[in-house]
A and B are shown apart, each in its own frame.
Chain A
Amino acid sequence: MQVSIEKFILAAVTMEREKVAGSIPTFIVSGPEEQQKISQYLGRIMEGVVHDLENGVFIIVKH
């Protein structure tokens, strides 16, 4: 386990395109269910952890 880890945003999953800027791969989804599903998939695929920024944006972070 690493108590403090190298954080790196792998992707963002959001319903609102304008809330994410910069060079992060962003997946636009149509609803909360899809957001859950897509972020879970991305997390598994890239071995990252899904975090909820509580503003409608999920990020997948490499720890």
Chain B
Amino acid sequence: MPFSLFPIVFGVVLGTLARYLMLKSDYRHYPSYPHGVINHIALGFIASVLGSVAVPALMAKEFTAVSFLALAAQQFREVRTIEKEMLFNLDKSELVKRGPDYIEGIARVFESRNYLVILTSLIVSSVTLFTHWIFGLAAGALAVLASNRLMSGRRVGEIARVRTGDIQFKGANIFVEDIHIMNIGGDETREILRKRAVGVIIEPINDNERETLANNGQRMAIAHDSASQLGIYKDVDTPEFNPLVRRDLDTGRIAMLIVPIEKDPEYLLTAVKGVPVLESATGKPLKSRAGKLAED
């Protein structure tokens, strides 16, 4: 069966474009990262080439060509490892660390987006091959929309009630409402905390979310995102101003004590609500029999 190169080229172009569009939504992880964009578009290009040749290769009875897809999977797993290592190394110089779970989540997103690109270009090239490029374009747009919709995770604001909490000092100990945060010896430090710190209470809406919020990685992500959005009143020699996220053992409520540069509790709550719920932190104890029965 004769076929032109057009479906392949069209699939490659739309696939790369799709990668570029997906890149924008996670750009905030890399505030100053112009070369990373090139890297990821280049990888997206490779992914879309692989995706768009798959069906034409099958039609030309080149069955071995499909095995390249396996090679691609290997390649993109490598991308994930590299991305993870890089973020781990960069994390060491962050004032408020992202934490391993958040990094793992970001790296996983990078890997899976390449697969989405393969899928998009595969759909585009095959639809174009069998019908018309207009339908190919429409299918590509649909695929991008669908993947954006499906891949956007939940946010903390959806799994918990987020509100401010009063900060209390009892001797050397600091509490947000009744949740103990830490013991602080220095009068000067306590004075700064009294003036500048903001307490946040995060109440999980059910037992599933209680487990999610209990995850240390999730809590580190909350602290990191809040600190990076409102600025953190901290330097390397003042570790006492690290945002601390502690848990109420009785109810599973989470309390965060943070010293933002901008003391705007309202916007802090916005930042906390917008923190992504990490895939690795998500637990579903309510789906188990024991978890369901124990719920009260």
Q: Chain A interface (Cβ within 8 Å of chain B)?
A: 1-4, 36, 39-40, 43-45, 47-52, 54, 58-59, 63
Contacts and interface: CB of A to CB of B under 8 A. Distances in A.
B183 A47 contact: no
B245 A3 contact: yes
Given A50-B240, A54-B172, A4 B216 contact: yes
B248 to A, nearest CB: 14
A54 B169 CA distance: 14
Interface string B229-271: 0000000111110111110000000000000000000000000
Given A1-B97, A36-B188, A51 B183 contact: yes
A39 B185 contact: yes
Contact of A51 (B184, B219, B227, B242): B184
Nearest to A47: B237
Given A51-B184, A52-B171, 5 more contacts: A1-B96, A1-B224, A3-B245, A51-B183, A58-B185
B189 A44 contact: no
B183 A3 contact: no
B251 to A, nearest CB: 18
Interface in B186-202: 186-189
Contacts of A51: 172, 182-185
B187 to A, nearest CB: 6
Nearest to A44: B237
Interface of B: 96-97, 99, 171-172, 182-189, 216, 219-220, 223-224, 227, 236-240, 242-246
23 contacts: A1-B96, A1-B97, A1-B99, A1-B220, A1-B227, A1-B244, A1-B245, A2-B99, A3-B216, A3-B244, A36-B186, A36-B188, A39-B186, A40-B188, A40-B189, A44-B237, A48-B239, A49-B240, A51-B172, A51-B182, A52-B172, A59-B185, A63-B239
B189 to A, nearest CB: 7
A30 to B, nearest CB: 17
Question: Most chain-A CB neighbours within 10 Å: which of B183, B216, B244?
Answer: B183
Contacts, number: 65
Contacts of A4: 216
Contact of B183 (A39, A43, A52): A52
Nearest to A58: B185
Contacts of A43: 186, 237, 240
Contacts of B182: 49, 51
Contacts of B96: 1
A49 B182 CA distance: 10
Contact of A40 (B186, B216, B223, B245): B186
Nearest to A32: B187
A36 B187 contact: yes
A51 B236 CA distance: 18
A63 B244 CA distance: 12
Given A2-B97, A3-B216, A40-B186, A49 B239 contact: yes
A43 B241 CA distance: 12
Contacts of B245: 1, 3
A59 B172 CA distance: 12
